[in-house]
Amino acid sequence: MHPVAVFDIITFLASLAALIVLLKGWKRALEPKAKLVFTGLLVFTMCYGFSLFVEWTWQTKVLDRIEDIIGALVPMWWAFVIYAFLAGIAEEELREREARFQELFDEAPVGYHELDTEGRIMRVNRTELDMLGYTAEEMLGKPVWEFSVDKEKSRDTVADKLAGDIPPGRVFERTLRRKDGNTLPVLVGVRLLRDKAGRISGIRSAIQNITERKRAEESLAEERSLLRTLIDNMPDNIFVKDIESRFVVANIAVAHFMGATTPDELLGKTDFDFYPQELAARYYADDQKVIQSGQPLVSREEPAVDAAGSRKWYSTTKVPLRDSRGKIVGLVGISRDITARKLAEEDSERLMQTLALKNEELESVLYVTSHDLRAPLVNIQGFSHELSRSCDLICSALRDKVPAADVGEKVRTALNKDVPEALGFIMTSAKRMDSLLSGLLRLSRLGQAAVNIEPLDMNAMLTDVTKSMEYQVKEAGATVDIESLPPCLGDASQINQVFSNILDNALKYLDESRPGVIRIYAKVEDGQSIYCVEDNGAGIAPEHQSKIFEIFHRLEPDKKSGEGLGLTIVRHILDRHNGKVWAESELGKGSKFFVSLPSV
């Protein structure tokens, strides 16, 4: 047998076997057209092989024509088979991709639907169906707004989308109605579908269930409302500021303190919008120190001024406010009104000062009692004994009925000298004791007098004081020059007495060798009105300057009249006014007496 015939018979038999296998496995997953193509290919190949076998075996040309036709068709058929095979593979992969896409579309964690140009639902995934409780048949073909709570708004939104009036990436919050009648809050993301010509052919929307988020927001809103209520009902001032010290949160207490009706009126503003410049600058510096250093400021006691202009005291704590990354974005502050406590402390301090002054006065009184009153008392006692002896001498002479002509020299001396002299010393000492006791009584009554604090026109007051002492001024040959004086706070009658006593002292101790000049002037410094009464008198020796305000102290008791109480009364009055008095003097050149009182 010719070798070619052997090859041809093998080709025939292989084609036959392949045809049998194909027919037996006809149900395999191939497209029908692919199966037909393969069958035709095998039939053609088998016929061609058989023809060649007959030709080479029997050496005949009978089948040449058939062989030529089949031989020409076989390559074409193979080419068609290869194309069909590849097309089948592509279609299979496309089906698999479509199946995977459909699976992803249905199993996506968010709902999807597609709308046509009329807003009707043409496709919807299983997730959205489960969200709303409908079947696909109940949703497909129906307008999407039929499933919205606000149908009109949904219809307008769809129309705007199809008209291209809504920019891409826009997300809408909507409320859909479930089949069971309940509502479902969702976020809707939109993407326009276009045909090959670029025209809008529909809408694809992604639906995200935000029920949990809405619940969280409602819970957070409730917590914020509760926190807001708690903060607003706190009596302390609570506030939050940003890094520029602008208010971003404030409670009602802060708003009322600053004169605002609601806390919202404070938002975006700073302390400079409410406080005096000096206080606002101080608060701002404290804020920035906390923000820049990250260190809290704890229980700082600081002054404040409320909307009515009343001075207050607050204990303030400020701590840095950080975001989730730890960056400082502002501060949180809380201020507690401690005005009552500060006033109590001031009252306590004033009481302690008063007690200290009372102790000093008591010591002075004890000293006077033990020293100044003792001297006249010793005189009275001593001369009382002298008077008693003289009286005994006279009584003895009278008892013995000694004639007048025979009265001895001792009796005459007792009658004419000793008795009058003793009585004179006794009267003088008694007068001195009366003067000292009257002075002590005056000081005691001064401490009990009520103090009525009010604004005082010091120009008018000093003018009146000078006029009331005009006779003494003329007697001393002095001139009094009063410059423009600022007002102060004090009790009118008591402050009048202060300057009357100081002016009286200045006139009393003028230098007789030169014309007396008294100058009264003032300045305002650190909230105090400081007045000065300056004279060109004799001055005060250094050893006496620390004693001039002591009770009953007099520089020249033998030359000048007085009880030594004038400057003591001045100091006592000013202590009760939270004021001060001090002196500067140089012997032979004059003195300056300074009086400090709270300014208006």
- Strand-pair partners of 521: 532
pLDDT in the model for residue 26: 47
**Rounded distance, CA 533 to CA 528, Å?**
16
Query: Residue 106: which of 124, 131, 94, 122 has the closest Cα?
Result: 124
- DSSP conformational letter for 234: -
What tens digit of pLDDT does each residue of 352-380 get? 877 876 777 667 666 656 656 666 777 77
Please tell me the distance from the alpha carbon of residue 332 to that of residue 20, in angstroms, as a whole number: 89
Q: How far is CA 489 from CA 454, 458, 495, 591, in A?
A: 5, 10, 10, 25
> Bridge-partner residues for 524, per DSSP?
529
Element (H, E) at 163: none
More confident residue, 545 or 361: 545
Work out the average pLDDT over 246-264: 89
Token pair 């694809």 is found at 204
pLDDT of residue 65: 57
For residue 123, give Cα distances in angstroms to 109, 117, 174, 203. 16, 13, 20, 10
DSSP alpha helix (H) spans, 180-276: 211-232, 252-257
Q: In angstroms, rounded to a whole number, what is the distance separating the alpha carbons of residues 502 and 534?
A: 10
H, E, C per residue of 308-347 = CCCEEEEEEEEEEEECCCCCEEEEEEEEEECHHHHHHHHH
What average pLDDT does the segment 260-270 reach?
90
- pLDDT category at 230 given cuts 50, 70, 90 is confident
CA 69 to chain centre: 102
Q: What is the per-residue pLDDT for 529?
A: 94
d(CA 426, CA 409): 24
Which residue is associated with the tokens 């008795």? 419
pLDDT confidence of 89, banded at 50, 70, 90? Answer: low
Mean pLDDT, to the nearest integer, of 502-528? 89
Interior/surface letters 343-375, b for 16+ CB within 10 angstroms, e for the rest: eeeeeeeeeeeeeeeeeebeebbeebeeebbee
Measure the CA–CA gap between 264 and 324, rounded to whole angstroms: 26
List the structure tokens of 73: 């068709």
pTM of the model: 0.44
Cα–Cα distance between 43 and 55 in angstroms, integer?
18
Give the Cβ contact number of residue 330 at 10 Å: 22
Complete DSSP assignment for 114-146 = EE-TTSBEEEE-HHHHHHHT--HHHHTTSBGGG
Choice between 207 and 361, residue whose per-residue pLDDT is larger: 207
- Alpha-carbon distance of 462 to 367, in angstroms, equals 35
Q: Which residues, other chains included, contact 50 with Cβ-Cβ below 8 Å and sequence gap of 6+?
A: 8, 12
Handedness of CA 336, 340, 343, 347 (dihedral sign): negative
Across the range 43-56, mean pLDDT stands at 61
Give the lowest-confidence range in 8-17, 130-139, 536-545.
8-17
The whole-number pLDDT of residue 32 equals: 58
Higher-scoring residue by pLDDT: 399, 64? 399
Q: Which residue has the higher pLDDT, 462 or 103?
A: 462
Q: Report pLDDT for 47.
A: 64
Please name the residues in contact with 550: beta carbons below 8 A apart, sequence gap of 6 or more: 364, 568
Distance CA 486, CA 484 (A): 7
* CA-derived radius of gyration, the chain: 60
Residue 580 neighbours by CB distance under 10 Å: 14
Q: How many CB atoms lie within 10 A of CB 510?
A: 20
Q: Give which of 422, 354, 358 is closest to 578, Cα–Cα.
A: 354
Report whether 465 contacts 595 (CB < 8 A): no
Residue 2 in this model has a pLDDT that exceeds 70: no
CB 328 within 8 A of CB 243: yes
Distance from the first to the final alpha carbon of the chain: 142
What mean pLDDT do residues 54-74 have? 57
What are the C-alpha distances in Å from 176 to residues 115, 173, 211, 456? 16, 10, 11, 77
